[in-house]
Structure 1
Amino acid sequence: MGLSTLVKCILAPVLASATILQNGQVRDTVFANTSIASVNSNWTSYPPNTTEISYKGRWDTQHISWWSAPGLKLGFTGDKLAISFGQHTSQGVLVTYRFAGQDWMFSNVTANSTHQFVDASTLGFDLTLQTQRPQTFELRVTNYAYGVQIAGVHVAEHARLVQIPNFGAKIEVIGDSLSAGQYATYEGISSYAWGLGAGLGNVEFDITAYPGICLVDQNCWGNAHGQVYQWLRTSDTSSRSVDIYGDSPPLWDFAAHQQSDIVVINLGTNDNNTHNNVTNEKYLNTYIDFVAEVHGKYPHAQIILIALWNGFDQVGNTYQQGGAFVDEIKQVYAHYKHEGFVHYFNTTGILQHNDIGPQYHPTDVGHVKLASHLMQYIKLKFGWVFGATGPEVQADTLYWNDEANY
């Protein structure tokens, strides 16, 4: 069966230790224990609303993170940095973080705790190198279904936070599990959406994606609403959101945040599932309306519609890529073609059947391939340049063979 008949979302995940497999082999994962008892007078503390903290993705007024791969970035002086997490932090949520241009590290954090992520022994830390590269700190939540609440940021006693200006351009990916990175190694930060934004390197990016969600506004795999409704809200459709906001999630204040210059929409795989019973006509009309809504919020943005690859079926003695709403997505493109801000990205041939994992979602390699093609498309189509020039983009992807004779 193809992806359209099998993909679904796990809406109420139970936190447990996970095993990461590489071609069937267990990967050793050792995450740093960053927890500390508390901060004292040897620290300088900042509240979560300090202007030196640049929040990435969607966060609410209580500084609670939502959607896929939200995070923060800041600059700092001194030789240590810690973050306190509030009561609305998911228990044991895995976060990834890095100092300056070093590789991403991982740690599990939890509610009402403080974690020290940088000290003088941190790899790459050298106060004499601050003129080479700003002394920055970044943190991202890896999982779409969990989140953190920032309660405070702490640096050394006589140190301070430094605001890092946002990049001048921004890209946003609106999608479902395929964009949220479900079943990828580190989920959100292993997704093609992450690879696209972080791979471009010199842009801000948001991943407004959640597993199982449809485009149309109806219940799909337990998601109470589709993206035509939820994208306008701060929070996603998770049980966390329901626990905090009930059935009235707050509207996202688009005017208060940096506008997106490019919006990538990858929606319809869940609508196409017979379980959700969305007609072709309803999907088409909703998609046309949704593009208009996105254009209304970002009137200067270029909008890219991704053709759905929808898995692979074995046909005879080979494999064949499936499709979903092929004609409808082309019709949406045709509807806006004369206005010049809508573009069609054909995914045919980018992924092969072994780029889809056992859970019917792209493997890490599949995500990298899709991200790479999208990067090149954006470069050729809009003249954007690749700005990632050294620091790691995709975490834990250093695999190689050093055996010359085998």
Structure 2
Amino acid sequence: MLSLVWAFALFSSTAFMSTRALNIQNDDPLIYYHGRWDHSPGTWWASSGFKINVRNLRSLALNLGNHTTQPLASAGVSFAYGAFNTVNVSAGLNAIPLDELGLEDGAHGEATTVVRINVEGWQNNRINLESIVLNEDAELVPYIPSDLVFQFIGDSLSAGQYLPDGVDQAWPFLVGETYKAEHRINAQPGAALTDILSYGNVHGVSYEYFRTEDTGYYYTTDHNYTTPWDFARDVPAATHLVIHIGANDASQNITNAEFVQVYTDFIVRLRTIYPVQPIFVFTPWGWPNPTGPNSYYYQGQYQIIVDNQHAKGDRNVFLVNTTGWVSYEDVFPDNQHPTVAGHQKIAQKFQAWLENWGLKPRASWPTPA
């Protein structure tokens, strides 16, 4: 994925709107929100964002409120399903230069243009959307979401930690793009699945997944509380769930038996929301070493978790054996997390696994670009 970093000056509303403009309020039903948004509305979790479909697009700005991360938040912007490029936005009015971000001259005339925007960071990732400002003769038309929807759940190995463009370069995001699917990523670096304190995370993913907020809420002075997430807001509902987690449980000395129980209980709770959807349980690809084999955690335990579900009659849980997917050449030497190329390799491996399983990418996006 190519990415350019653009740092935008903060424009005052008076300056930008000296020419007449169309102001789209944040409650407009033609804005398609994805991921976790609170009622301000503001984002939580990497990859949360929105999509709009615009006819006659010639100018675009985001009017952001005071809950936006200061001094800035990094967001990915894509036009017409093209590459995501990074923009740095702040509270106030942020003009987005269309041509410089890949929307060619003439491509935003009378035809419609799909605009996709999401927060990239695993932290410092809050944007508080007040309104979207378009050229006066632009028109919002419906965005039709894909009927294929991935829900990814994990930790730093799925959130894009240490990548230049964050989650937009991580393997879950890449898989979603290849499959022309909607993709929601709830992954928290440092968090265990077990609901324990871990590397600054005051809760584990088995708790936080069911909340609007990620674990950064604890350090957020204007929002240091959690609220239940209303899964009815996920429209359409996830069609496939992918879970890759456990590294931080192992680091916090959670035993094999404890981990299997927590994971099993987590799946049971997921089934109250996703009763029949396929759940893909990743084994660890391990921590690569410069010499010798990878070091692994909870070896054999993920198979037990899947076998437990099968024994209860839930045959729609599948083990994804990732052994051999990641080598030392695929990770940053100082932290053993996958590089940009490493995430691309993981995405390709999982895509091959999915296609062998029987899931093919969609031929096209349902909303014309």
Q: Which residue of 1 aligns with 2:318?
A: 343
Deviation of 1:290 (Å): 0.4
Contact 2:55 2:140 in 1 (8 A): yes
Shift of 1:235: 0.8
Contact kept, 8 Å, 2:172 with 2:347, in 1: the verdict is yes
Indicate which of 106, 120, 124 corresponds to 1:126.
Answer: 106
Q: 2-side partners of 1:139 and 1:28: how far apart?
A: 14
Instruction: Work out whether 1:64 is the aligned partner of 2:64.
Output: no
Give the Å deviation of 1:261.
Answer: 0.9
SS in 1 for 2:271: helix
CA distance, structure 2, for counterparts of residue 95 and residue 120 of structure 1? 15
Counterpart of 1:33, as a letter, is: F
Which position in structure 1 is the counterpart of 2:87?
107
Cα-to-partner distance string for 1:300-352 (whole Å, 9 max, x where unaligned): 210000001221235xxx43122111222110011112421100001111111
Of 8, 24, 31, 2:6 maps to 31
Q: Trace 1:374-389 onto structure 2 (pairs within 5 A).
A: 374-387=350-363
Match of 1:184 among 144, 163, 186: 163
Computed over aligned residues only, the root mean square deviation of the Cα atoms, in angstroms, reads: 2.4
Match of 2:347 in 1: 371
CA contact (8 A) 1:48 1:152 kept: yes
| Structure 2 portions without partners, runs of 5+ | none
- Distance in 2 (alpha carbons) for counterparts of 1:121 and 1:239: 32
Note the residue ranges of structure 1 that are not aligned, 5 or more in a row.
1-26, 390-406
State the Cα distance separating 1:231 from its structure 2 match: 0.4
Identity over aligned residues, as a percent?
A: 26
Decide which of 270, 274, 284 is 1:294's aligned counterpart: 270
Q: Cα offset for 1:95?
A: 1.4
CA deviation after TM superposition for structure 1 residue 35, in Å: 3.9
Matched, 1:162 2:141: yes
C-alpha change, 1:28 and 1:113, in structure 2 (3 Å) is closer
DSSP-derived class of the 1:238 partner:
helix
Contact 2:34–2:234 (Cα < 8 Å) also in 1: no
Hey, what's the Cα distance between the residues in 2 that align with 1:381 and 1:198? 19
The 5 A counterparts of 1:46-65 are 46-65=24-43
Superposed, 1:131-210 pairs within 5 Å as: 131=111, 134-146=112-124, 147-201=126-180, 203-210=181-188
Structure 2 counterpart SS, 1:354:
helix
Task: Assess if the C-alpha contact under 8 Å between 2:61 and 2:93 holds in 1.
Answer: no
Structure 2 contact 30–142 (Cα < 8 Å) conserved: yes
1:309 is aligned to 2:285: yes
1:250 to 213, 227, 238: 227
Structure 1 residue 278, shift from structure 2 partner = 1.5
Q: Secondary structure at the match of 1:153?
A: strand
TM-score by length of 2: 0.89
User: How far is the alpha carbon of 1:215 from its aligned partner?
Assistant: 0.4
Question: Does 34-43 or 221-230 show the bigger shift?
Answer: 34-43
Q: Which residue of 299, 302, 307 corresponds with 1:334?
A: 307
Report the alpha carbon displacement of residue 228 of structure 1 after superposing the two structures with TM: 0.9
Deviation at 1:93, TM superposition (A): 1.4
Which residue among 38, 59, 80 is the counterpart of 1:80? 59
Is the Cα contact below 8 Å between 1:81 and 1:119 reproduced in 2? no
Q: What number of residue pairs does the alignment pair up? A: 354
Say which of 249, 258, 262 aligns to 1:282: 258
Distance 1:130 1:157 in 2: 13
Deviation at 1:29, TM superposition (A): 6.2
1:403 aligned partner: none
**Alpha-carbon spacing, 1:119–1:187, altered in 2? closer, same or farther (3 Å):** closer
Is the Cα–Cα contact under 8 Å of residues 86 and 148 in structure 1 kept in the other structure? yes
- Aligned equivalents of 1:382, 1:71: Cα separation in 2: 29
Of structures 1 and 2, the one scoring higher in RCO (CA 8 A, sep 6+) is 1
Residues 257-304 of structure 1 show CA distances to partners (whole Å, capped at 9, x for unaligned) of 22111110111000001xx23122211100000011112111121000
| C-alpha distance 81-30 of structure 1, shift in aligned 2 (>3 A) | closer
Choose 152-161 or 35-44, whichever is displaced more.
35-44
Question: What amino acid is the match of 1:225?
Answer: H
Equivalent residues of 2:49, 2:119 under 8 A apart: yes
CA contact (8 A) 2:120 2:167 kept: yes
Q: CA deviation at 1:77?
A: 2.5
Corresponding residue SS for 2:354: helix
- Alpha-carbon distance in structure 2 between the residues aligned to 1:329 and 1:128: 49
